[in-house]
Amino acid sequence: MKHKASSFLELLNSFVTEYLPGAVGASPNTIKSYKAAFRLLLKYMYQEKSISADQKLKLQILPCWAHINKALSFYA
């Protein structure tokens, strides 16, 4: 079975709207802060690095995922 590749923005939206409130139990203020931080990141990527959010990003996400989960476990 082949899975449709999700875009970065779809994954980011799912992370903020589903994962943070559901799996992590993050508060509305925490989620609002994450959204603001991601907006700043996307703005920086576009304005300073000429990378749009819909471009294919070659990120080494797996090595940093442990750090992200560790930071999020603070809210669990």
> What pLDDT score was predicted for residue 29?
94
Assessment of whether the complete model's pTM goes beyond 0.95: no
Contact between 41 and 35 (Cβ < 8 Å): no
> What pLDDT score was predicted for residue 25?
92
CA dist 19 and 34 (Å) reads 12
Tokens 């799996």 label which residue?
Answer: 23
What is the per-residue pLDDT across 18-75, written as a single tens digit (0 to 9) for each?
Answer: 999 998 899 999 999 999 998 998 888 889 888 887 776 655 555 566 666 676 666 5
The mean pLDDT of 5-14, rounded to a whole number, is 79
Tokens 């082949």 label which residue?
Answer: 2
Residue 41, token pair as written in the block: 């990141």
